[in-house]
Amino acid sequence: MGNALQQLKVQIGSGLLSFPVTPFSADGSKLELKAFSNHVGWLSSHPAAALFVAGGTGEFFSLTPDEIGELVKAAKAVAGKTPIIAGCGYGTAIATDIARRAEKAGADALLLLPQYLIGAEQEGLFRHVKQVCDSVSIGVIVYARDNCILRPETVQRLADACPNLIGFKDGYGDIELLTRICVTLGDRLTFIGGMPTAEVYAKAYRGAGVTTYSSAVYNFVPELALSFHRALIGGDEARVDQLLRDFYYPLIDLRNRKKGYAVSIVKAGLRVIGRDTGPVRAPLIDLTAAEEAELKRIVDNATGTRAAA
């Protein structure tokens, strides 16, 4: 692994991560790049270790390869020193095409989301991830979830074969498997928590050896997200538990009401703080007006609690 990749690997593991939403026009037909640039600039003004552009919360699954390149380019123009990691995925041919586009647009690394539709044997997953890594010179983080559940020996093979594989993000939630991977790989990779609303898993993941996680709520309450992260790494369990009770648990109760709300609730959160980034794209649906009002009460209560703490 080259020095630049090693530095990026360390940087990613050094603090909180997040993944900006993608603003769309009112009918969802086009990107709103000015709004996106404003949003990324705002997030970059807070101390995130890196930002994932066109990730899951950025509606990667609803974007075209051209749009992903546009988003990366726009993010790099305003992010300053904050590394920009581009979403990548689908079948191997499309994933390698997106990877090359993202590298050309200036991405510092890739987040390789699971392949489309099908499960595969470990040998097939190895070949898929390796081909994406081989297609670029920038860093790659593999996202283990859904159709891409990697065994420790496969992750080790990939780490040996791909010098630019710098990270492993877990969205599967099997702590025993994750611990095996962390122990097997040691410090070869940076390990990232990637379960939906990662904060509610953060204590367990930290015990398994995961040093960081990606926060969706950083999109609309960055100070609160950073406060939780500081309390977690500082061992302030009372503060962690308070924020879980006052904010995160009510949030996930609302999130769990409908499929796809893990993304929709983040855009709704931006609306309730006055930073509207437009609707979600189909097949997702937005929160109802009543649910959005409920979200506003949750946010107002938590940020009021934060200010008083």
Q: By the 8 A CB rule, do 84 and 43 touch? A: no
Residue with tokens 């989301």: 113
- What pLDDT was estimated at residue 277? 97
Q: How far apart are CA 264 and CA 25, in angstroms?
A: 15
pLDDT for position 209: 87
204 and 240 in contact (C-beta within 8 Å)?
A: no
CA-based angle 149:53:204, to the nearest 5?
Answer: 45
Decide: 57 and 22 in contact? Cβ < 8 Å: no
Q: How far is CA 59 from CA 74, 85, 127, in A?
A: 16, 14, 26
The pLDDT, as a whole number, for residue 162 is: 98
Three-state DSSP string of 239-306: HHHHHHHHHHHHHHHHHCCCCCHHHHHHHHHHHHCCCCCCCCCCCCCCCCHHHHHHHHHHHHHHHHHH
Residue with tokens 């993000």: 169
Residues of the chain under the 50 pLDDT cut:
305-309
Tell me how far apart the alpha carbons of residues 57 and 215 are, in angstroms, rounded to a whole number: 10
pLDDT of residue 306: 43
Which residues are paired to 165 by β-bridges?
140
Q: What's the pLDDT score for residue 304? A: 83
pLDDT in tens, 148-203: 999 999 999 999 999 999 999 999 999 999 999 999 999 999 999 999 999 999 99
